[in-house]
Structure 1
């Protein structure tokens, strides 16, 4: 992986970029980054999980049953009712350097143009162009929410209430992605007052509840696996709303 291009006039001189034409860039991302500000809409549209990334816990939307295939993206288009914010800002990103975050561009995106045939990052006065500035502002807002999310997830981990997805659920789905976690509701209910209050102060409780409330959305993964297999075999229904209506073919009991 190459070093990201830091967005400062000196680094970007002579370079341009091409906006992505569709969402094909994420069709291999079975796990899509989310932040706590997206909980309400995301939890109603896809299953959510917490995964360990190095020393950090991260909130993700589970968009596939196997690594390398996003079931929600077909022919570059998003099939679900809610589209995660991360998709709108790529290939721009914020890279953490110590306590600071630097806005950068993904050199490996295939959208960087050293020949100057694309759109400039900065104008002649050294100001970000409108297209870049809009994405950067959205990134900054999302970054602050991500920082809050990371602290909340750290609190959940410290409280010992994170648990892997049940094997019964994984087996029913045919899920091969490892490391997906939810909240152990029994462990959460048995926390003492001090520990529970610490989760509330860390704004971790909304995440805890949303994680588990989103689990029934796994039925969408089973349905999408038929609509959007790794090797396309069927046409997309004209009425996707009817396709995403709930069904009872999958049911899970987390009480045991």
Structure 2
């Protein structure tokens, strides 16, 4: 009986060791499973109708556009939509390895443990909050990613806790099938996981108060202007400097 107990204990110990070293091996993996980034080709604006083109010499004469001069450029996002219909855009953050496609699931659980191709993966994927619409419509867009020990995914967001780095890399971009948008960081802070930082619906003066709260929480003072007329985007990942901590990076869409 005693021998059986020892065999059982040793078996459990071996099983735990296998799990531990398996996780360690995965965590040390350097590659992230994502599609190759395609060049962001600007899609030409739709040619205006003939009634919009006037001759410089005779404003009453309509200028015809020869058919052979019309061009069509394939939207670079089309291929990603074909790979995964959950694709919503591409996030690029200066000064970091963050240059990844962004997906959006039917909840905020799916892509915690599945990669861009919907395959089980401890790295998960970079994903947008399922409550967001995307396409630059949301007043507050939220994008999540895992913190990793070796910097993959959102592992390098903690670089923004260095004020000099923040000043040198104040802007990042998010591109989708409708164009590329620039964002300028106005607040960086660490806090315990709190859903109050993740609100997306606001009434009355709630949005103005929300923006003021985010700016006041920043670990560094910021002169980046943000008003209720602006849309913002938040990047969030884990951070162990607080119990059940999260790192929040809030940025305002640049419209000028």
TM superposition score normalised by structure 2 = 0.24
Select the structure that is richer in strand. Answer: 2
Select the structure that is richer in helix. Answer: 1
Structure ranking higher on relative contact order (CA contacts 8 Å, 6+ apart):
1
TM superposition score normalised by structure 1 = 0.24
